[in-house]
Amino acid sequence: MPDGPVRTRDEVVKALRDTVGVGMGYLPLGAAFGVLLVTSGLEWWWAPVFSVVIYAGSMEFLAISLVTGGVGLVQVAATTFFVNFRHVFYGLSFPLRKIRSAPGRLYGVHALTDEAYALLATRPHAQLTGPRVLGTEIFCQMYWVTGSTVGALLGHGVGLDVEGLGFALTALFVVLTIDAYRAAPDRTSLLIALGCAVLALVVAPGAMLVLALGAFVIVLVARLAVRRSRRA
């Protein structure tokens, strides 16, 4: 078995390889965020600040309008809570225990994004190590910070148009869904997720994501309970 430094290096290389696809989506989407930020009247250096401190794609886009609109802290906190509420569900199956150090775990919680979750939660936990989990999250944030900073600088100096670049996020989620399904094909779960999403969109479009995730978790728990009762 390889020693510690060699094993850590190998795990970091695996994390880099795993995140290449995410980087291809994060770089243009981050650039779109950076351009939007400077065209909204903020200085370019706010892009890396937002990307390091907030680091939540949809919330960062929303934060631009909140900051420039002079919204109060209470409303900002409430908005952030509801926009990122889905992370409560992510934490149920995220392999945080693979990270041994307390600072590493704190960063792991901070850097838990949709894409990092999709990359890590779908892999067999036996294949994951602390360095690989942390490396995946660090590389993902590096892509985002780089994209947003470059976009802000270009937008500040050139005045680029960001129309259409927002679709990069949708395309990224489609690719991640396809990869996750290929890694662990489960047609029933896919159909359940689709059904929950459609139902939530019809019932409460404004809270679609939270409602869909909640319904999906309830159905999965019920499905697991039925399976265990049948085995018993």
- At 1 the pLDDT is 43
In angstroms, rounded to a whole number, what is the distance separating the alpha carbons of residues 173 and 142? 19
- At 52 the pLDDT is 93
In angstroms, rounded to a whole number, what is the distance separating the alpha carbons of residues 99 and 197? 32
- Please indicate whether residue 35 or residue 82 has the higher confidence score (pLDDT): 35
Using the structure block, give the residue that is written with the tokens 């409560």.
Answer: 88
- At 169 the pLDDT is 58
Give the pLDDT band of residue 161 (cuts 50, 70, 90).
low
Question: For the segment 118-159, what is each residue's pLDDT rounded down to a tens digit?
Answer: 888 888 888 899 999 999 999 999 999 999 999 999 887 765
Alpha helices in 54-166 (DSSP H): 57-68, 73-83, 87-90, 102-110, 114-121, 130-157
In angstroms, rounded to a whole number, what is the distance separating the alpha carbons of residues 203 and 197? 10
Tokens of 177: 């869904």
For residues 81-96, one letter each, b for 16 or more C-beta atoms within 10 angstroms of the residue's C-beta and e for the rest, the string is: eebbebbeebeeebbe
Q: How far apart are the first and last CA of the chain?
A: 40
Give the mean pLDDT of 188-206: 88
Question: For the segment 34-76, what is each residue's pLDDT rounded down to a tens digit?
Answer: 888 888 888 999 999 999 998 887 778 778 877 777 767 777 7
Q: Does the pLDDT of residue 82 top 80, yes or no? A: no
Give the pLDDT band of residue 183 (cuts 50, 70, 90).
low
- At 217 the pLDDT is 81
In angstroms, rounded to a whole number, what is the distance separating the alpha carbons of residues 60 and 50? 7
pTM beyond 0.75: no
Q: At what angle do helices 46-53 and 57-68 cross, to 10 degrees?
A: 130
Q: Does the pLDDT of residue 193 top 80, yes or no? A: yes
Give the pLDDT band of residue 167 (cuts 50, 70, 90).
low
Tokens of 123: 């892999």
Three-class DSSP category at 23 = helix
Q: Which of 8-12, 108-112, 204-208 has the lowest mean pLDDT?
A: 204-208
* High-pLDDT (> 90) share of the chain, %: 25
